C-alpha cells in the first residue's frame, strides 16, 4: 500500500506504508514531515487496524478533512478518499500488505515534503464527471516508473504531463471551473470597496480592493498578504464580475465563510461578514463609513467603554499600574492633585494628538504614515502606487524608495504592454516585450508570460500587411512582412506559407535546388529542435505552445523516431488539456506505438 502526497504546486511524493503507525507533522521525529506553516508540529496519525487504515487528528490547529469534512475522531479511509492536511492532499493506493514489516535500523530518513506555492489546478475529466477514486497519470517519457496498484481505477482523466508516474489525486471542482474570469484593471478610488478587520490581528485595519481582481493569501505573490497560520498561501480572490463583487475560495485549507456559511463562490454586498481562515472582515461598499464596534472583555463589558482616569494616564506614561485611590489629605495634597491634573491634561492632550495623526483615508497619509502605506503597497508589488505614497512621505526615511522606483518602471512597461495587446498594436507590444526580456524587475518577469499574446498581436498586424502586399502583386513586401513574423515567431505556420508563396520564382527554384542536397538533414535537425521545444512547453503547462511547436516539427516530415514520439505526445497531451478530445485521441493513437511507461494510461484515455 502506498500513500500519495501532493502539495499545492501539484508535485507528488509516494511513500510506502510499511509501518502499522505513521505520524504526520511539521517537526522532526514524525514519520512524514510536511513543512508548510499550516501543518501543526504533530498533526495527524495513520494507523493500520484489522485490515483498515484509520486517520486521527492529533489536536492540530487547522484540523484534518476527509472528502471535505473535518474529522472529529478516528476515521476510516480507503482508496479514492481525499485527505486534506493544510495545503497538502493525500490519498492511499492499493491494499494493506501482509504481514506488515517494520523497517530495519538504518532505513532511509522519513521524507520531508517542501512547501509549495500556488494551489495547482486539478486535471479535468472527459466527459466532466465526479471522480471518487484516483486514476494513474500519464508519465513523462523515459521517466522512472512508480509501481502501480494491481487494479487501477477506471475513470477517464486528462493525462498529467509532469506527474512522474505518481497516482493523481483528483478533485473535480465544477464550481471553481465556472468561476468568473475578469479582465484585471485598476479601479478609481471612488469605486474601491474595502475589507475592515473585525477581530484579531487585523481588527480595525482597512484593506482596499484596488483592482477588479484581488488575490488574498499568505505569500507575497498575493495582492493582500495576511501572514496568519489559518490562511493558505493562495487562499481566495475577490473579483468584480458584471458589477457584482464575488469572493472565490481557492480550495484553501480553512475555507471561506460569508455570514457564517461556507462557500466556494459567493456574491458580496455591503455589511456581509467574510471569514478567510480564522480572520474575520466586514465587506464595505465604496465610500461606506464603518468602524468596528468596541471589543468586549471576558465579563461581556466593552473594553473601551470607560475613559482612562488621570492616574491611569500618568501610570501608563510611566509604564506602571495605577494604585488604588488613597484617602483625601488637606493642604499640600490638594496642591499636588492640581499639579497632577495639569500633567495629566498635558499628557492626555499629547496622547490624543498622537492618535489623531493617523489619516482617515490612505491617500491623505503623510510622513511616516505615508512610508508605511507605501511599504505595504511595495510588498504587494504595486510599485506605481507605492511611489505616489513615497512622494507624499517627503523627506521621511524610506529604504524601499529606490527599489520601488526601478520596479515602477517595469510595472509601467507591463501595463503598457497589456494595453498594446488589447489595442492590437503588435509593434508596440513587441518593443515592450523585448525591452522587458532584458529586465529583471517583477513586472517585466510577469510580462514574459504574455509572450503568446504578444506574438499573436504582432503576427496579426504583419500577416495582414503581407496578405495585402501579395494581393497587390508586391511579393517583396509580402516576403518582408512574413519574414518579420518568422523572426519573432519561427513556428508561425501562416507566415511560413506566405514566405514560400511570396518568394520570387527564381529564388524559389534556387532554393528548391539547394534543398535537394542538404535540406533533408537540415529539416530533420529543425524538426528535432521543435519537437523538444514542444515537450518542454508541455511540461511547463504551455499547452497551446506545445501544440504549435509539435505541428511545426511534423510539417518538416521528420523520420527520427524520437522526434515523432515527442511531437505525437505533445499533440495528444496538449489537445487533451485544451479540451479537444477528438484531436487528443487522434494524436495519442499515433503516439501509442512509441509509448513506454505510460501505455496503460493512454489506452484508458482513448478507450482502447
Tell me what pLDDT residue 496 has.
82
pLDDT over 90, % of the chain: 12
d(CA 427, CA 430): 5
Kindly state the cell numbers that stand for 362.
Answer: 490612505
Kindly state the cell numbers that stand for 260.
Answer: 457564517
225 & 198 share domain? yes
64 & 33 share domain? yes
**CATH number, domain at 488?**
1.25.40
Segment 199-213 shows an average pLDDT of 89
566 & 598 share domain? yes
Higher pLDDT, 523 or 562: 562
Strands 213-217 and 236-241: antiparallel
Contact 481, 473 (CB under 8 A): no
| Residue 284 binned pLDDT confidence (cut-offs 50, 70, 90) | very high
Query: 452: which residues sit within 8 A by CB, 6+ positions away?
Result: 542, 544, 545
475 & 528 share domain? no
Helix axes 561-577, 581-591, angle to 10 degrees: 160
pLDDT over threshold 50, residue 123: no
User: What's the burial of 57, exposed, middle or buried (CB within 10 Å: 0-12/13-18/19+)?
Assistant: buried
Contact 203, 40 (CB under 8 A): no
Kindly state the cell numbers that stand for 541.
Answer: 503547462
Contact 328, 321 (CB under 8 A): no
| Residue 53 binned pLDDT confidence (cut-offs 50, 70, 90) | very high
**CATH number, domain at 215?**
2.60.200.20
Strands across the sheet containing 213-217: 224-225, 213-217, 236-241, 244-249, 265-267
| Residue 506 binned pLDDT confidence (cut-offs 50, 70, 90) | very low
Segment 148-156 shows an average pLDDT of 35
pLDDT over threshold 80, residue 225: yes
User: Cell 529583471 appears where?
Assistant: 440
SS3 65: strand
Of the three residues 93, 125, 158, the one that is the final residue of a domain is: 93
pLDDT over threshold 50, residue 445: yes
Mean of per-residue pLDDT scores for the chain = 74
Tell me what pLDDT residue 564 has.
92
Distances (CA, A) of 153 to 156, 170, 562: 9, 12, 30
CA distance from start to end of the chain: 28
- Highest average pLDDT, of 157-161, 362-366, 525-529, comes from 525-529
Segment 243-254 shows an average pLDDT of 88
Q: Each residue of 322-346: pLDDT tens digit?
A: 444 444 444 544 554 545 454 454 5
d(CA 537, CA 428): 26
Tell me what pLDDT residue 197 has.
92
**Lowest pLDDT segment from 119-133, 316-330, 434-448, 514-528:** 119-133
User: What's the burial of 264, exposed, middle or buried (CB within 10 Å: 0-12/13-18/19+)?
Assistant: middle
Question: pTM for the complete prediction?
Answer: 0.31
| Residue 47 binned pLDDT confidence (cut-offs 50, 70, 90) | very high
User: Cell 505518481 appears where?
Assistant: 166
pLDDT over threshold 60, residue 14: yes
502 & 542 share domain? no
33 & 86 share domain? yes
Of the three residues 247, 268, 284, the one that is the final residue of a domain is: 284
pLDDT over threshold 70, residue 295: no
Kindly state the cell numbers that stand for 519.
Answer: 535540406
Segment 559-564 shows an average pLDDT of 90
389 & 434 share domain? no
Tell me what pLDDT residue 491 has.
76
507 & 528 share domain? no
572 & 554 share domain? yes
Kindly state the cell numbers that stand for 203.
Answer: 481588527
Segment 99-113 shows an average pLDDT of 44
Strands 52-57 and 75-77: antiparallel
CA triple 378-380-382, angle to 5 deg: 60
d(CA 156, CA 283): 42
- Closest alpha carbon to 94 in 48, 15, 152, 49: 152
Residues pairing with 12 in the sheet: 6
Asked if residue 24 is part of any domain, the answer here is: yes
Strands 112-113 and 32-34: parallel
pLDDT over threshold 70, residue 500: yes
User: Cell 472565490 appears where?
Assistant: 248
- Rounded to 10 degrees, what is the CA torsion of 220, 222, 224, 225? -30
Alpha-carbon 71 to chain mean position: 27
d(CA 421, CA 457): 6
Asked if residue 455 is part of any domain, the answer here is: yes
pLDDT over threshold 50, residue 9: yes
Asked if residue 541 is part of any domain, the answer here is: yes
Tell me what pLDDT residue 504 has.
58
Q: What is the secondary structure of 5-48 as a DSSP string?
A: EE-TTS-EEEEE--SSEEEEESSTTSSEEE-STTS-SS-EEEEE
Asked if residue 145 is part of any domain, the answer here is: no
**Lowest pLDDT segment from 63-67, 140-144, 203-207:** 140-144
Tell me what pLDDT residue 8 has.
76
Tell me what pLDDT residue 275 has.
93
pLDDT over 70, % of the chain: 71
Asked if residue 588 is part of any domain, the answer here is: yes
- Highest average pLDDT, of 60-69, 173-182, 322-331, 507-516, comes from 60-69
d(CA 125, CA 522): 40
471 & 489 share domain? yes
Contact 56, 45 (CB under 8 A): yes
Segment 518-536 shows an average pLDDT of 85
Tell me which residue range forms the domain holding 206. Answer: 194-284
Kindly state the cell numbers that stand for 55.
Answer: 486517520
**Lowest pLDDT segment from 12-21, 236-245, 264-273:** 12-21
pLDDT over threshold 90, residue 195: yes
Tell me what pLDDT residue 151 has.
34
Asked if residue 158 is part of any domain, the answer here is: no
| Residue 158 binned pLDDT confidence (cut-offs 50, 70, 90) | very low
Segment 576-605 shows an average pLDDT of 83
Q: Each residue of 455-465: pLDDT tens digit?
A: 888 888 889 98
Contact 238, 216 (CB under 8 A): yes
Torsion sign, CA atoms 320, 321, 322, 324: negative
| Residue 413 binned pLDDT confidence (cut-offs 50, 70, 90) | confident
**Lowest pLDDT segment from 58-72, 266-280, 324-338, 554-568:** 324-338
Asked if residue 461 is part of any domain, the answer here is: yes
d(CA 359, CA 155): 58
Asked if residue 524 is part of any domain, the answer here is: yes
Alpha-carbon 389 to chain mean position: 28
Query: 196: which residues sit within 8 A by CB, 6+ positions away?
Result: 204, 205, 206, 207, 281, 282, 284, 290, 291, 292
> Cβ–Cβ contacts within 10 Å for residue 442, how many?
17
SS3 487: helix
pLDDT over threshold 70, residue 211: yes
Torsion sign, CA atoms 261, 266, 272, 274: positive
Higher pLDDT, 439 or 214: 214
441 & 392 share domain? no
Contact 507, 527 (CB under 8 A): no
Q: How many domains does the chain have?
A: 5
d(CA 306, CA 300): 14
- Closest alpha carbon to 252 in 237, 273, 231, 267: 231
pLDDT over threshold 60, residue 317: no
Of the three residues 93, 123, 144, the one that is the final residue of a domain is: 93
SS3 135: coil
User: Cell 479537444 appears where?
Assistant: 580
- Highest average pLDDT, of 30-34, 101-105, 275-279, 307-311, comes from 275-279
d(CA 105, CA 65): 33
493 & 526 share domain? no
Residues pairing with 90 in the sheet: 5, 83
Tell me what pLDDT residue 484 has.
84
Amino acid at each position: 500500500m502506498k500513500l500519495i502526497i501532493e502539495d499545492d504546486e501539484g508535485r507528488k511524493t509516494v511513500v510506502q506504508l510499511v509501518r502499522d503507525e505513521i505520524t504526520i507533522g511539521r517537526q522532526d521525529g514524525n514519520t512524514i514531515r510536511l513543512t508548510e506553516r499550516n501543518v501543526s508540529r504533530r498533526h495527524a496519525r495513520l494507523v493500520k487496524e484489522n485490515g483498515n487504515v484509520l486517520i486521527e487528528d492529533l489536536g492540530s490547529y487547522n484540523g484534518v478533512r476527509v472528502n471535505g469534512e473535518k474529522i472529529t475522531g478516528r476515521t476510516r479511509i480507503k482508496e479514492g478518499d481525499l485527505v486534506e492536511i493544510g495545503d497538502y492532499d493525500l490519498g492511499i493506493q492499493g491494499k494493506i500488505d501482509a504481514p506488515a514489516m517494520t523497517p530495519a535500523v538504518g532505513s532511509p530518513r522519513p521524507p520531508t515534503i517542501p512547501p509549495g506555492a500556488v494551489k495547482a489546478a486539478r486535471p479535468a475529466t472527459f466527459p466532466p464527471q465526479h471522480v471518487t477514486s484516483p486514476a494513474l497519470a500519464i508519465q513523462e517519457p523515459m521517466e522512472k516508473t512508480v509501481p502501480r496498484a494491481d487494479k487501477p481505477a477506471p475513470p477517464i482523466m486528462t493525462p498529467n504531463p509532469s506527474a512522474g508516474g505518481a497516482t493523481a489525486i483528483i478533485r473535480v471542482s465544477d464550481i471553481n471551473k465556472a468561476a468568473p474570469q475578469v479582465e484585471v484593471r485598476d479601479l478609481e478610488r471612488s469605486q474601491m470597496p474595502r475589507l475592515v478587520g473585525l477581530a484579531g490581528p487585523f481588527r480595525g485595519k482597512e484593506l482596499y480592493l484596488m483592482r477588479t481582481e484581488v488575490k488574498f493569501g499568505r505569500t507575497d505573490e498575493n495582492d493582500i498578504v495576511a501572514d496568519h497560520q489559518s490562511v493558505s498561501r493562495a487562499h481566495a480572490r475577490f473579483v468584480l464580475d458584471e458589477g457584482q463583487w464575488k469572493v472565490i475560495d481557492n480550495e484553501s485549507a480553512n475555507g471561506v465563510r460569508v455570514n457564517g456559511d461556507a462557500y466556494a463562490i459567493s456574491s458580496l454586498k455591503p455589511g456581509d461578514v467574510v471569514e478567510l481562515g480564522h480572520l474575520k472582515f466586514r465587506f464595505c461598499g465604496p465610500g461606506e463609513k464603518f468602524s468596528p464596534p468596541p471589543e468586549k472583555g471576558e465579563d461581556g463589558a466593552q473594553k473601551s467603554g470607560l475613559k482612562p482616569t488621570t492616574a491611569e494616564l500618568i501610570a501608563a506614561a510611566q509604564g506602571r499600574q495605577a494604585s488604588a485611590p488613597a484617602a483625601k489629605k488637606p493642604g499640600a495634597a490638594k496642591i499636588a492633585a492640581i499639579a497632577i491634573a495639569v500633567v495629566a491634561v498635558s499628557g492626555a492632550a499629547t496622547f490624543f494628538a498622537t492618535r489623531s495623526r493617523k489619516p482617515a483615508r490612505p491617500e491623505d497619509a503623510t510622513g511616516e504614515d505615508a512610508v508605511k502605506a507605501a511599504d505595504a503597497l511595495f510588498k504587494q508589488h504595486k510599485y506605481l502606487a507605492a511611489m505616489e505614497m513615497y512622494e507624499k512621505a517627503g523627506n521621511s526615511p524610506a529604504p524601499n524608495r529606490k527599489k520601488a522606483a526601478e520596479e515602477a518602471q517595469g510595472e509601467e512597461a507591463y501595463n503598457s504592454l497589456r494595453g498594446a495587446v488589447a489595442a492590437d498594436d503588435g509593434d508596440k507590444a513587441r518593443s515592450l516585450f523585448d525591452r522587458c526580456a532584458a529586465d529583471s524587475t517583477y513586472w517585466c518577469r510577469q510580462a514574459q508570460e504574455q509572450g503568446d499574446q504578444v506574438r499573436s498581436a504582432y503576427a496579426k498586424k504583419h500577416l495582414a500587411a503581407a496578405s495585402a502586399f501579395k494581393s497587390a502583386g508586391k511579393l517583396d513586401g509580402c516576403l518582408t512582412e512574413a519574414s518579420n513574423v518568422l523572426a519573432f515567431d519561427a513556428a508561425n505556420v501562416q507566415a511560413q506559407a506566405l514566405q514560400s508563396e511570396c518568394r520570387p520564382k527564381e529564388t524559389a527554384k534556387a532554393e528548391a535546388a539547394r534543398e535537394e542536397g542538404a535540406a533533408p538533414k537540415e529539416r530533420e535537425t529543425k524538426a528535432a529542435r521543435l519537437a523538444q521545444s514542444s515537450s518542454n512547453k508541455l511540461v511547463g503547462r504551455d499547452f497551446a505552445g506545445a501544440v504549435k511547436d509539435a505541428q511545426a516539427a511534423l510539417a518538416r516530415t521528420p523520420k527520427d523516431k524520437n522526434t515523432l514520439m515527442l511531437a505525437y505526445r505533445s499533440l495528444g497531451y496538449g489537445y487533451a488539456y485544451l479540451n479537444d478530445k477528438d484531436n487528443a485521441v487522434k494524436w495519442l493513437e499515433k503516439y501509442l506505438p512509441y509509448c513506454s511507461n505510460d501505455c496503460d494510461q493512454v489506452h484508458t484515455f482513448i478507450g482502447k
